[in-house]
Amino acid sequence: MKVRIAVSPPIAALGDETFPVYLDDCERLGFDTLWLSDLPLGALGDPLVSLCYAAAATKRLKLGANIVPLGRNPLWLAKQLAQLDRLSQGRLLLSFVPGLGDPAERAALGYATGHRGRAVDEMIDLLRRWWDGKRVSAEFAGFRYDDVPVSPQPIQTPLEIWLGGHAPEALSRVARMADGWLTATVTPEEAGAGRATIEAEAAELGRVVDAEHFGISIPFGRKAPPESSLALLRKRRKDGDLEGVLAIGGPTLRDLVSAHIDQGLSKFVVRPAYVADPDVDWRGELAWLADTLLPLQT
């Protein structure tokens, strides 16, 4: 397997003056990918804008993002992503997520009620048709397209879309339509079971999800994060148990990544559990991550 390590920056590294330095450090240290998250009501900004800057500021670093497509015009999104893939010379990586689902976010995105997953499925279908060079006639969320093409086309053929989640419905959606799986807040054993489920269900549908296309986002801390951060992570698990999910300290983080590799996962996004801390030593942390994890990268 090709093990790849991606880093997700804290807010402190996304500032006007700090982001260029963060990008230089990521590329110099040898990380595979910069990974940004789309939090519509959060303080991280629009990941596509940040990735446009990163495309110009880097040469080798892959550029990945969890994108919440809801609330966006699919036509403009198709054009933006295709253009970003071209500007980065085919370095764009994508995972689509329906968002956090809290009432304020759902309302802000135009989905106060209704099935967000079904809407994401419909948007993916539209994007892929446009990226395949087709002229599209369709209606979606108040938008109407009458024999509409998209230009430019992405460099990557196909421009892959990964999906996340770990509930049975989410695993079935990956098996049915995704190019890869990027999960989160699961233990290595749960991740391995999810991978096996996806591969089995995909085979029943006559599909194959590439064995190299299974990954996970792992929260970490060089030291124990504040209780407020832990509480947010616990909410994402029914049992509230963070054992095998959160890594504190270098040896634990390295062992957790290795355990996921043993379960067949090979793509890792490591993100600080205290993302909003304005005083974090992000340069020191990035160097520490390189020493801890890059020996595992193949």
Token pair 């240290």 is found at 29
Residues 51-58 have a mean pLDDT of 98
Distances (CA, A) of 95 to 118, 161, 221, 227, 273: 16, 6, 24, 29, 20
Quick one: pLDDT band at residue 285, thresholds 50, 70, 90? very high
For 67, the enclosing helix (H) or strand (E) is: strand 62-67
Question: Which pLDDT value is given to residue 232?
Answer: 87
For 74-93, how does the pLDDT look when each residue is reduced to its tens digit (9 = 90+)? 999 999 999 999 999 999 99
> DSSP class of residue 224?
P
For 134-164, how does the pLDDT look when each residue is reduced to its tens digit (9 = 90+)? 999 999 999 999 999 999 999 999 999 999 9
Which residues, other chains included, contact 279 with Cβ-Cβ below 8 Å and sequence gap of 6+?
12
Which residues, other chains included, contact 7 with Cβ-Cβ below 8 Å and sequence gap of 6+?
26, 31, 33, 34, 35, 269, 270, 271, 286, 289
**Domain interval for residue 19:** 4-296
For 258-278, how does the pLDDT look when each residue is reduced to its tens digit (9 = 90+)? 999 999 999 999 999 987 788
pLDDT > 70: percent of the chain: 100
Structure tokens at 298: 């193949």
3-class SS of residue 161 = coil
Report the number of distinct structural domains present in the chain: 1
CATH number at residue 69: 3.20.20.30
Question: Is there a contact between 259 and 188 (Cβ–Cβ < 8 Å)?
Answer: yes
